């Protein structure tokens, strides 16, 4: 019994990795709970020891993907120059294989429950770390901001929606530029950074979204 | 054949109304395509004449609910004083029975595909009408704004997320006030309204969200 408890977390983590493989292969909607049970090599009762439903398995897959990327940011952050930390959190690419596969799957299955849940988690999960960074910036006088958490909320909401295209379809170059202008207006008015930081933000954000648009165009062409 | 074509749209509209009844009764996830077919009184082939999948039926239900409310706003708008039109579009309650039932269902089923789709439509569907109103305000000099459509996008995104609680959990009174402050900052900086309009906005928005919070608390208590 003690042994079971001891192995519970690592075993569950293995199952979550297997579940992502199955979702990638069959698609989440088409995956049956019996497919997962078979892939896990567990009895029905054995599986319910770990998960109560297919949706709970999906939630655990997403949670693992998002947590791993946040954890790796948290580990890397001390090595990033202080003024770049917020940008690093928002605009650097993940190097984690599990997370990359999950992101790719979610963005290929637009309009599915997987893509909706992922978008929400991309807005919600980085919030504590981003709030911490803004609070540090306020302490050092780099930012001026009365409510760091709500500033982080709104910056994340807008940043993710500019890149996701579900709510805001991609639009032309001018539209994308106007959205970035609005995002920088919010940044400026919610946290009052120095002008040099705003200029740097504009450059990095513009390049990041331009590259994402190129990648999306390439994917769309491959699909056609 | 001519007769079939002529009756197609009204008949489809009836079926969409029946579908909402079934979704309310059974829940969307648990509704089988055969339940809908039975309720429609159609053969399988007859049903595929109108819809190709259960998800398409849901999309039509949501589309009908949202279109009806936007159409009614569009009809009412000439009777609303010009300066109140944007507020009317964002913060007045629907009086349409179909739409109300759909909204209630979506908010009772948090985390379901129905609630995700509804939230996105609440952000996307009012965009053309809201852009028109902002453009009129710019013409009369009431607002100053270089890109009305992107201003409308961001105001809608934030307004819906303050009220929906999926991405931004409800939080305490102070948190809600800070979010409203941020929303007004965006309003101020994206469209530059007169101070009197901003004051009025603050009052209406604060009351609207306070009332919504009360309603949500009441619903939560009833469920317990």
Helix/strand/coil (H, E, C) string of chain B? CHHHHHHHHHHHHHHHHHHHHHHHHHCCCCCCHHHHHHHHCCCHHHHHHHCCCHHHHHHHHHHHHHHHHHHHHHHHHHHCCHHHHHHHHHHCCCCCHHHHHHHHHHHHCCCCHHHHHHHHHHHHCCHHHHHHHHHHHHHCCCCCCCCHHHHHHHHHHHHHHHHHCCCCCCCCHHHHHHHHHHHHHHHHHHHCCCHHHHHHHHHHHHHHHHHHHHHHHHHHHHHC
Contact B175 A124 (CB under 8 A): no
Contacts of B150 in chain A (CB under 8 A): 175, 178-179, 181-182
Nearest CA-CA distance, residue B198 and chain A, Å:
16
Chain A residue with CA closest to B117: the answer is A111
B196 in a structural domain = yes
Contacts of B120 in chain A (CB under 8 A): 166-167
Question: Rounded to an integer, what distance in angstroms lies between the CA atom of residue B151 and that of residue A168?
Answer: 12
Question: Rounded to an integer, what distance in angstroms lies between the CA atom of residue B128 and that of residue B70?
Answer: 10
Write the CB contacts of B162 (distance below 8 Å, at least 6 apart in sequence). Answer: B168, B176, B179, B180, B183, B209
B43 in a structural domain = no
Half-sphere exposure of A15 (CA within 13 A, CB side): 26
Number of domains in chain B: 1
Task: Out of A166, A185, A190, name the one closest to residue B190 (CB).
Answer: A185
Q: Residue B121's closest CA among B62, B57, B61?
A: B62
Question: Rounded to an integer, what distance in angstroms lies between the CA atom of residue A157 and that of residue A107?
Answer: 17
More confident residue, B205 or A215: B205
Q: Across residues B35-49, what is the average pLDDT?
A: 95
Question: Rounded to an integer, what distance in angstroms lies between the CA atom of residue B62 and that of residue A147?
Answer: 36
Q: Is A52 helix (H, G, I), strand (E, B) or coil?
A: coil
Q: Residue B49's closest CA among B8, B101, B95?
A: B8
Contact A182 B168 (CB under 8 A): no
Q: How does the average pLDDT of chain B come out, rounded? A: 91
Chain B (99-118) residues lying within 8 Å, Cβ to Cβ, of chain A? 113, 116
B77 in a structural domain = no
B98 in a structural domain = no
Nearest CA-CA distance, residue A111 and chain B, Å:
8
Which residue segment(s) compose the domain that B205 sits in?
127-224
B30 in a structural domain = no
B141 in a structural domain = yes
| The pLDDT of residue A5 | 66
Task: Out of A123, A146, A158, name the one closest to residue B154 (CB).
Answer: A158
Nearest CA-CA distance, residue A6 and chain B, Å:
32
Contact B178 A123 (CB under 8 A): no
Instruction: Say if residue A216's pLDDT is above 90.
Output: no
Q: How does the average pLDDT of chain A come out, rounded? A: 91
**Residues B93-102: tens digit of each pLDDT:** 878 899 999 9
The answer to whether A132 and A164 have CB atoms below 8 angstroms apart is no
Confidence of residue B65 (pLDDT cuts 50, 70, 90): very high
| Sign of the alpha-carbon dihedral angle for B214, B175, A161, B155 | positive
Contact B150 A113 (CB under 8 A): no
Interface contact B153, partner A, CB < 8 A: yes
More confident residue, B190 or A210: B190
| The pLDDT of residue A163 | 87
How much is the pTM?
0.91
Interface contact B167, partner A, CB < 8 A: yes
Distance between terminal CA atoms of chain B?
54
Here the ipTM equals 0.90
B211 in a structural domain = yes
Confidence of residue B7 (pLDDT cuts 50, 70, 90): confident
> Among A106, A127, A145, A154, which would you mutate to test the B interface (most chain B Cβ atoms within 10 Å of its Cβ)?
A154
Contacts of A149 in chain B (CB under 8 A): 175, 178
Q: What is the DSSP string of B82-141?
A: GGGHHHHHHHPPP--HHHHHHHHHHHHSTTSHHHHHHHHHHHHTTHHHHHHHHHHHHHTT
Backbone φ and ψ for A25, nearest 5 degrees, come out as -75, -50
Interface contact B144, partner A, CB < 8 A: no
| The pLDDT of residue B1 | 45
User: In chain B, what percentage of residues exceed pLDDT 70?
Assistant: 95
Nearest CA-CA distance, residue B187 and chain A, Å:
10
| The pLDDT of residue A2 | 44
Contact B167 A120 (CB under 8 A): yes
B184 in a structural domain = yes
């Amino acid at each position: 019994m003690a042994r079971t408890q001891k192995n519970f977390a690592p075993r569950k983590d293995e199952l979550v990795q297997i579940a992502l493989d199955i979702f990638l292969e069959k698609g989440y909607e088409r995956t049956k709970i019996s497919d997962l049970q078979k892939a896990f090599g567990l009895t029905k009762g054995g599986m319910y020891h770990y998960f109560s439903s297919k949706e709970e398995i999906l939630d655990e897959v997403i949670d693992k993907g998002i947590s791993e990327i946040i954890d790796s940011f948290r580990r890397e952050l001390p090595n990033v120059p202080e003024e770049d930390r917020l940008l690093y959190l928002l605009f650097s690419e993940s190097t984690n294989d599990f997370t990359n596969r999950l992101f790719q799957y979610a963005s290929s299955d637009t309009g599915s429950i997987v893509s909706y849940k992922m978008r929400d988690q991309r807005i919600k999960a980085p919030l504590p770390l981003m709030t911490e960074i803004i609070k540090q910036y306020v302490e050092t006088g780099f930012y001026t901001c009365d409510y760091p958490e709500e500033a982080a909320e709104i910056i994340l909401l807008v940043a993710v929606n500019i890149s996701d295209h579900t709510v805001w379809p991609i639009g032309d170059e001018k539209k994308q530029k106007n959205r970035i202008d609005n995002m920088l207006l919010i940044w400026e008015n919610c946290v009052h950074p120095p002008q040099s930081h705003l200029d740097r933000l504009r450059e990095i954000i513009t390049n990041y979204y331009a590259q994402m648009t190129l990648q999306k165009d390439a994917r769309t062409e491959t699909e056609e």
